[in-house]
Amino acid sequence: MVAAALVLGACGGGVSQDADLVAGKEAFIERCGSCHVLERAGTQGKAGPSLDAAFSRSLIDGFNRQGVAGVVLEQILNPARLPPDHPAYMPPDLVTGQMAENVAAYVAYATSRPGEDEGLLAEAGQSDFPPGSGGAIFADGTQQAQACGQCHTLSEAGTQATIGPSLDEALQGESPEEIRQDIVKPDAEIAQGFSAGVMPSNYEQTLSEEELNRLVEFLAEVSGGGGGGQGG
Ligand code: HEC
Ligand code: HEC
């Protein structure tokens, strides 16, 4: 990987300077965040290495942002071809073309400086739900808790991830109590076609009781199981 960075740096190839960081951040949250920690993007996936840790080190070692972007682009376009059940598996073709460059540029940007994103970048990838609401907890997560929407499709929340079952279907007819159990004890019952150990099992710790209540209420309402006068 060190060699790749040097080559890309030397020929100036890889990621173009005018990559779209806002689009890159949105795509990162959607396609990469379920497996990687990247603090500025607020993602907390654990299947792959923390990108903050991976690249703060390279920057200390003297790579510039362009060099890091080149390394990330190379990883996106050519992850090791491993079987999907291998622990080091990263799927190919998550993003392609200009969008792959945008994502690589954003990762390089995000790992090259301390602090938080501002302006348009701060809003990128965030839902329209009021901060702290059940919908926001689902779609955006919290400081401690990984966003449900990074793994689950739920049309009402505008999320489309497929690492876990689609909640448009899975939540049909579930009571608030059942939904709560699914969240705090994800492996008590494994959804067909999915594996145990993927969904975080510590939401009871990472979400406060208040947050958990708001989340369950939101899910019960959108799935029609909340008994809250929406009618049909
Ligand atoms: C399904 C989980 C998964 C997804 C989704 C995923 N990755 Fe990875 N990624 C991994 C794993 C596992 C590794 C470690 C691979 C290895 O050791 O060869 C990795 C490695 C990397 C590395 C190298 C880090 C290092 O320490 O050298 C980068 C960069 C990276 N991924 C970026 C991305 C980007 C950008 C995306 C989205 C386009 C993405 N990943 C999506 C699982 C994932
Ligand atoms: C890292 C990915 C990931 C995250 C984050 C995640 N889940 Fe899951 N979830 C899964 C997987 C995989 C399954 C299927 C395996 C299982 O049942 O444990 C699942 C199962 C479920 C089920 C049961 C579905 C069924 O078919 O019965 C519900 C409900 C659910 N998740 C809700 C949530 C909520 C709400 C959150 C956020 C608080 C969340 N999940 C966060 C991956 C995830």
The overall average pLDDT reported for the chain is 87
d(CA 93, ligand 1 centre) in Å: 12
Substitution site in 36, 46, 61, 101 for ligand 1 pocket (most atoms within 8 Å of beta carbon) = 36
In 3D space, the residue among 122, 120, 149 whose CA is nearest the CA of residue 134 turns out to be 149
Q: What is the pLDDT of residues 56-98, one digit of tens each?
A: 877 777 778 888 999 999 999 999 999 999 999 999 999 999 9
Distance CA 207, CA 100 (A): 33
Distance CA 73, CA 93 (A): 11
Both 24 and 87 in one domain: the answer is yes
Domain count, the chain: 2
Last residue of a domain, one of 123, 143, 175: 123
Confidence of residue 225 (pLDDT cuts 50, 70, 90): low
80 and 190 housed in the same domain: no
What separation in Å is there between the alpha carbon of 137 and the centre of ligand 1? 25
Q: Let me know whether 118 and 25 are in one domain.
A: yes
Inside any domain, residue 231: no
Whether residue 230 is contained in a domain is answered as no
Ligand 1 atom index nearest CA of 34: 5
The pTM assigned to this predicted structure is 0.75
Domain boundaries, position 83: 2-123
Specify the CATH number for the domain of residue 76.
1.10.760.10
Residue 227, in any domain of the structure: no
Based on the fold, state whether residues 111 and 148 are members of the same structural domain.
Answer: no
Say if residues 78 and 12 touch (Cβ distance below 8 Å): no
> For 53-195, where are the E strands, in sequence order?
153-154, 159-160
User: DSSP labels for 126-153?
Assistant: --SSPTTSHHHHHHH--SSS--GGGT-E
**pLDDT tens, residue by residue, 89-137:** 999 999 999 999 999 999 999 998 888 899 999 889 888 999 899 999 9
Cα distance between residue 147 and residue 143, in whole Å: 10
